[in-house]
């Protein structure tokens, strides 16, 4: 399972990464919000662990942007923001779970596994219904018909990676 960790605290990121890799997960790490968003849109991940207070774009913005792009990758917010309104905002922007720092590592792993189980069980796909007018000479066809199209769960950008003045992301997984 391939996870994206977007966390600017190097001690936390290093400990979480080592622990998750020890559990058998492949973990890629971004420090800046803009790099985390870029990685999330350029590669397929099974789950994203996302801090809220990040340099550049914050976790709320990243989550909102991914959902606007119809990216339904499970997102677990891992943050020091412990207010009820912060948790509500995270869930309202599209996060699937919320864990406050300091946190219990076994609880983090259990929540990740629970989110991955839910996703494997058939996460909802985006469905768009459209109506189109059809003009035909045949009286057997309706003038209006509805079509159902399934949107892809991920859209990829072709834009180059944003320059952040240095490489603030680490990859440990083969593409």
Q: Is the pLDDT of residue 79 over 80?
A: yes
Which pLDDT belongs to residue 80?
95
Which pLDDT belongs to residue 175?
54
The β-bridge relationship of strands 97-100 and 75-79 is parallel
Q: Which residues contact 88 (CB under 8 A, 6 or more apart)?
A: none
Which pLDDT belongs to residue 145?
35
pTM listed for this prediction: 0.73
Q: Where are the domains of the chain?
A: 2-124+163-170
pLDDT in tens, 24-63: 999 999 999 999 999 999 999 999 999 999 999 999 999 9
Q: How far apart are CA 130 and CA 139, in angstroms?
A: 22
User: What CATH code would you report for 2-124+163-170?
Assistant: 3.40.50.2300
């Amino acid at each position: 399972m391939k996870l994206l960790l977007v966390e600017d605290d190097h001690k936390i990121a290093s400990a979480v990464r080592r622990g998750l890799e020890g559990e058998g997960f492949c973990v890629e790490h971004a420090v800046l919000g803009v790099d985390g968003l870029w990685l999330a849109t350029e590669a397929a991940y099974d789950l994203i662990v996302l801090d809220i207070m990040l340099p550049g774009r914050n976790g709320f913005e990243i989550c909102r942007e991914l959902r606007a792009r119809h990216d339904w990758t499970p997102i677990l917010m891992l943050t020091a923001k412990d207010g009820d309104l912060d948790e509500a905002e995270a869930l309202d922007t599209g996060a699937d779970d919320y864990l406050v720092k300091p946190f219990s590592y076994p609880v983090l792993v259990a929540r990740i596994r629970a989110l991955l189980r839910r996703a494997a069980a058939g996460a909802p796909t985006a469905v768009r219904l459209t109506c189109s007018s059809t003009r035909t000479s045949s009286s057997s066809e309706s003038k209006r018909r509805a079509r159902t199209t399934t949107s892809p769960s991920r859209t990829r950008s072709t834009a180059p990676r944003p320059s952040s003045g240095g490489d603030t992301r680490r990859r440990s997984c083969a593409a």
